[in-house]
Structure 1
Amino acid sequence: MASKPILYSFYRSSCAWRVRIALALKKIEYEYRPVDIFKGQQNSEEFSKLNPLSQVPALVCNGATVVQSMAIIGFLDDVYPKPPLYPKDPIQKAQAHALAEIINSGTQPMQNLSVLKRLCTDPEKQKEWSHYWIDKGLTAFEKMLQQTAGKYCVGNSVSIADICLVPQMLNAHRADVDFTKFPLIQKITVSLSEMDAFKEADPFIQPDCPKELQGKGKKY
């Protein structure tokens, strides 16, 4: 690519976190532009022109804008094919997609900040709601891992499934999910947390992370 990609991100967004992991795995240099979700900057007219849904992440590459984390990661895998983020074997590729979608479609949207605000204003009820959906999603994920896992979610290579799993674990921590029920998930996230790419993408070292939180995030 001729120019450095621009990533519109928020340090705590799990969807933006996925894209940061993909960029780090592929060793792609990019410009980081923060969008403060807590301040509502995603609803600005300027950002809404990039993403009409007013959500991060958004990636601008050579004047073209790609939105939605899964679409962005697929785009990056097409343009920067090494290392691949999807298995070559058709069955393993389908398994990786399925695991990723358990989180992307069946878990993360249910505990998204905009959904919680729409649900109610009671923090405890919001937490209870998040706990239910995250526990449900991770239970399904763990069961699938019994058929797919090696060192990572699908065999012994990092894939889109791993990229989606790690950010969801921080949300699970916030919802007080009992991780002892998920031994395979725990084992895999420990392995992933030791990789440089996952360390580089960590939300608590991003430029827009508040100083008082930098380096203090609860790990996987």
Structure 2
Amino acid sequence: MKLYNYFRSSASFRVRIALNLKGLAYDYLPVHLAKGEQKQAAFANVTSEGLVPVLELDDGRRLTQSMAIIEYLDETHPQPALLPADAPGRARVRALAQIVACEIHPLNNLRVLKYLAHELKVDEDAKNGWYRHWVRLGLQAYEAQLAARPGTFSHGDAPTLADCCLVPQIFNARRFDCDLSGLPRTLAAFDACMALDAFQRAQPSACPDAE
């Protein structure tokens, strides 16, 4: 398999975690978003969406959107499972994952931040304030969900799809100096994840295109 991705992309980071947890080998193909490589013709031939990650399968088919890719990996390589066996558990894990992937990330990804700065002429302080506001709001909701149920990770005592989403978001939150106070369960789940080799090897500083 081949993974088109960018070392700082949280969506790419999610998929790298899932691949590592599954023990799946892949070729790392960097697409530098900050330099606009996703807009070049070569990448347009890979995906019309102009986004990373893209997972190219052994037969040449290409999958897009991190959440869909991770669920595909979980269906085709069931162990270790990233979704619980019970329907309520699966719903809870998907909801946790979507707090990050649907409520936080879309408002704060690179193209949105660039639009704020270049098109709406928002200054750096206001742009960072925007970022921090939505991260804080989303992680407070995440914390409230975790506080209602004990467990080492976001759901129980093994990492799930939710943790694949949480860890990259915490990395980005720290990079933007977000307020992470009052989130003990969330940060405990993050720390439990980062004690695992699969998460360590997926982090941005471990990527071959890291700057």
TM-score clears 0.5: yes
For the residue of structure 2 that corresponds to 1:66, the secondary structure is strand
Instruction: Quote how far apart the aligned CAs of 1:205 are.
Output: 1.1
Shift of 1:178: 2.0
C-alpha distance 148-44 of structure 1, shift in aligned 2 (>3 A): farther
In structure 2, what is the equivalent of residue 172 of structure 1?
173
Matched residue, 2:193: 192
* Structure 1 unpaired stretches of 5+: 211-220
Aligned residues: 206
3-state SS of paired residue (2:148): helix
CA distance in 1, matches of 2:163, 2:207: 20
Helix, strand or coil at the partner of 2:205: helix
| Residue matched to 2:27 | 31
Give, in whole Å, the separation in 2 of the partners of 1:156 and 1:55: 33
Counterpart check, 1:85 vs 2:86:
no
- Offset at 1:74? 0.9
Sequence identity (%): 39
**Given the alignment of the two structures, is residue 155 of structure 1 paired with residue 152 of structure 2, yes or no?**
no
What is the rounded CA distance, in whole Å, between the counterparts of 1:149 and 1:37 in structure 2? Answer: 38
Residue number among 31, 46, 52 corresponding to 2:42 in the alignment: 46
Distance in structure 2 (CA, Å) of the matches to 1:56 and 1:149: 34
Query: 2: CA distance between counterparts of 1:21 and 1:209?
Result: 16
In the TM superposition, what is the alpha-carbon distance from 1:157 to its structure 2 partner? 1.8
- Residue 16 of structure 1 is matched in structure 2 by 12
Q: Helix, strand or coil: the match of 1:180?
A: coil
- Secondary structure in structure 1 of the residue aligned to 2:28: strand
Find the counterpart in structure 1 of residue 137 from structure 2: 136
If asked which structure has higher relative contact order (CA below 8 Å, sep 6+), I would say 2
Q: Structure 1 residue 112 and structure 2 residue 112: aligned? A: no
- Distance across 1 between alignment mates of 2:205 and 2:2: 20
TM-score by length of 1: 0.91
Alpha-carbon contact 2:82-2:160 (below 8 Å) kept: yes
Partner SS for 1:77:
helix
Report the alpha carbon displacement of residue 132 of structure 1 after superposing the two structures with TM.
Answer: 0.5
Deviation at residue 148 of structure 1 after TM alignment: 3.4
Equivalent residues of 1:128, 1:175 under 8 A apart: no
- Partner SS, residue 59 of structure 1: strand
Residue 34 of structure 1 and its aligned partner are, at CA, apart by: 0.3
The 3 A distance-change label for structure 1 pair 128 and 82 is same
Name the CA distance, whole Å, in 2 between partners of 1:175 and 1:41: 23
Instruction: Report the aligned-residue RMSD.
Output: 1.0
TM-score by length of 2: 0.95
Q: Distance in 2 between matches of 1:100 and 1:148?
A: 16
Does the Cα contact within 8 Å between 1:14 and 1:167 map onto a contact in 2? yes
